[in-house]
Each structure stands twice: as C-alpha cells, then as structure tokens.
Amino acid sequence: MDSVELGPDLESRVQGDDHQALRLWLRLLSCTTRVEGVIRKRLAQDFATTLPRFDLLAQLERHPQGLSMRELSKRLMVTGGNITGITDQLEAEGYVLRNPHPSDRRSFSVKLTALGRRQFKRMASTHEQWVLELLGGWSAGQQEKVHGLLADLKKHLGALEAAGQQEQQQPPKPRTRRKQQA
C-alpha cells in the first residue's frame, strides 16, 4: 500500500528511497495528528473545551481521591504553569476543587466535583464513540494486530530508554590525549 492522498501532512515529506522505518514513523505521526485534530475540533464544537482540559479531567476521574498539581503535571507531561492555568479555569466553572495537599503544605490536591464528574462522563462517552468511528476503518482483528505490534515497539523503546539512562549513570571514561605531531 502506497501513501493515500489526503492533502499535505507530515507523510508528504516521504521520498521513494527513504528508509521503511522513516516512512512508518511519518505515517504514524500523520495518523496521530489527524485523529488528534478531529478530536480537538469536536471537543471545541460539542463541549466548548480543549483536549488538555479533557485530559486533566480524565486523570482526575481515574483518581477520585485527587492528585497533586505536580502529579498532574507529570502525568500530562506539561509544565506546572499549564496545569495551574487549566485548573484555574476548571475550578471557576465548578468542575474541580483545589485544596491544600494533606501531607505537603506547599502543594495542592485537585479532585473532581460532582458536576465535573457528570460533565466528564458525558464527554468521555462521546469521545469513545469518536475514537470508534475514527479507527473504524480497521476490523477488530486488524486493530488487535496493530495494538500488538505497537506494544512490541513500546517495549523496544522502553529498553532503549533504560539502556540510555544506564549509560548516563556510568562515570565518564577518561579522555586520552593524542600525541602532538612535531
């Protein structure tokens, strides 16, 4: 199967002689970008919200006891400033409560309100239907196969990351000086 023409995207950079791994990388990135774009647009249209706000609510829904601002930042892979801004908005709308963290006076814990939980459940149900629609071009068997292949890739990437971290923990090798030629 060659590249499908859907207009310019990241995959349009591919040349015929590019390595298969590069073509695959750009196809994965292109598909991810397209799916994410549709979801962002629909969240804005149907719920007047953003993907980062949805993601923050999703994290809180999974942790009813609440999460610290630092933990939210880590889980969503964004800065603390981003979390603060999103939390301010959601708190003003009555979707979350921010309280002093029980074990760290310098930190805050954020949890969903009943209103926030109801709103998130509505959004999550609709979001699930969008994902089913967007990935509906694959049969259940194809989806399972791709899921397995991506699991293998994720495992490989984890091993590379662990090896890189291990390498960084090794003391640097002494540098040897070259003899200067006269």
Report the CATH number at residue 74.
1.10.10.10
| Digit-coded pLDDT (tens) for 110-137 | 999 999 999 999 999 999 999 999 999 9
What's the confidence (pLDDT) of residue 68? 92
Per the rule left: phi > 0, alpha: psi between -120 and 50, beta: everything else, 94 is left
Single pTM value for the model: 0.78
What phi and psi, each to the nearest 5 degrees, are found at residue 108? -120, 150
Q: Which of 45, 10, 48 is nearest to 26 (CA)?
A: 10
Distance, in Å, from the CA atom of 121 to the CA atom of 57, rounded to the nearest integer, reads: 10
Q: Is 21 domain-assigned?
A: yes
The verdict on 35 and 107 lying in the same domain is no
Q: Is 176 domain-assigned?
A: no
Residues 6 or more apart whose Cβ sits within 8 Å of residue 39: 51, 127, 130, 131, 134
> Domain range spanning residue 36?
7-47
What phi and psi, each to the nearest 5 degrees, are found at residue 118? -65, -45
| Digit-coded pLDDT (tens) for 17-53 | 778 888 888 889 999 999 999 999 999 999 999 999 9
